[in-house]
Amino acid sequence: MKEEQSVKNVLITGASRGIGRATAIAFAHAGYRVCINYHLHRAEAEELAAYLRADGAAAEVLQADVADAVAVREMVAQAGEVDVLVNNAGIAGQRLFTDVTEDEWQRMLAVNLTGLFHCAQAVLPGMIHRKKGKIIALSSIWGITGGSCEVAYSAAKAGVIGLVRSLAKEVGPSNIQVNCVAPGVIDTDMNRVLSVADRVALCEETPLMRMGTPEDVARSILFFAGPGGDFITGQVLSPNGGFVI
């Protein structure tokens, strides 16, 4: 008889809305047990978990601010063995560089970059012990090209790419793959604050003539987590509709 494979466990940070929510649904449909992390949006996280359970999936809701190392360690302990970490939690903001305050700068780095540091450090001991695991971090096209009036965000997301590439070299001998997904302009709450004119302009600058969807990004993340990503590490995949070529 063929040995039955155990269900894999994925922890997705910032999973209550947007790309995180779409990613949770994609992993649930692929047969994973899904740990849904949230910081502030508990109702949305609970609603998502209920939706996944109603569809036959295993889902847990875990609260933590990824900028808080202690909270992250507690979250990972509650999650159990993490086979796949999707480090999606992030914040954004548009502001002239000269207007960025010290607190805004520190918070941007704390969530977008230090959050990855905390989460990866928390899951890696178990992955190294088992000699397998996948870490997928979310960056942005602005982490690749830089974005005007988004210096703090761009710097943090560029740091994510640097962390991913370096960590991939360090943990590769333990059969752990570390990769990055850097989305383009995606139709999420972060971009819905833009004016209609700005949204139209962004679509016109994109060769595929539309904004991406959270599901477009989720499919890229799921690819890295699946067998197709087994011999890929330290790489940046950018679903951006041709916005950056």
The answer to whether the beta carbons of residues 44 and 16 sit under 8 Å apart is yes
CA dist., res. 177 & res. 164, Å (int): 10
Q: What percent of the chain has pLDDT above 70?
A: 98
CA dist., res. 158 & res. 144, Å (int): 6
pLDDT at 3 over 80: no
Q: Indicate which residues carry an active-site annotation.
A: 153
Range of the domain at 16: 9-184+213-237
For residue 168, what is the domain's CATH number? 3.40.50.720
Q: For the chain, what is the mean pLDDT? A: 95
Backbone angles phi, psi at 194, to 5 degrees: -70, 155
Which tokens go with 112? 């977008």
pLDDT at 78 over 80: yes
**Predicted pLDDT at 4:** 42
**Predicted pLDDT at 193:** 72
Which tops the pLDDT comparison, 6 or 152? 152
Q: What is the DSSP string of 189-229?
A: HHHHTS-HHHHHHHHHHSTTSS-B-HHHHHHHHHHHHSGGG
Closest Cα partner for 224 from 137, 162, 125?
137
pLDDT at 168 over 80: yes
Does the residue 106 lie in any domain?
yes
Helix (H, G, I), strand (E, B) or coil at 9: strand
**Predicted pLDDT at 194:** 79
Closest Cα partner for 120 from 187, 167, 51?
167
| Residue 3 exposure: Cα atoms within 13 Å on the Cβ side | 3
Q: What percent of the chain has pLDDT above 90?
A: 91
Closest Cα partner for 112 from 170, 155, 64, 78?
155
Does the residue 3 lie in any domain?
no
Does the residue 200 lie in any domain?
no
Does the residue 244 lie in any domain?
no
* Per-residue pLDDT tens digits for 218-242: 999 999 999 999 999 999 999 999 9
Domain total in the chain? 1
Does the residue 56 lie in any domain?
yes
**Predicted pLDDT at 189:** 77
Does the residue 166 lie in any domain?
yes
Tell me which residue has tokens 């996948």.
Answer: 134
Does the residue 179 lie in any domain?
yes
**Predicted pLDDT at 5:** 53
Does the residue 68 lie in any domain?
yes
Cα dihedral 141, 147, 151, 152 in deg (nearest 10): -30
* Per-residue pLDDT tens digits for 181-211: 999 999 987 777 778 888 899 999 999 999 9
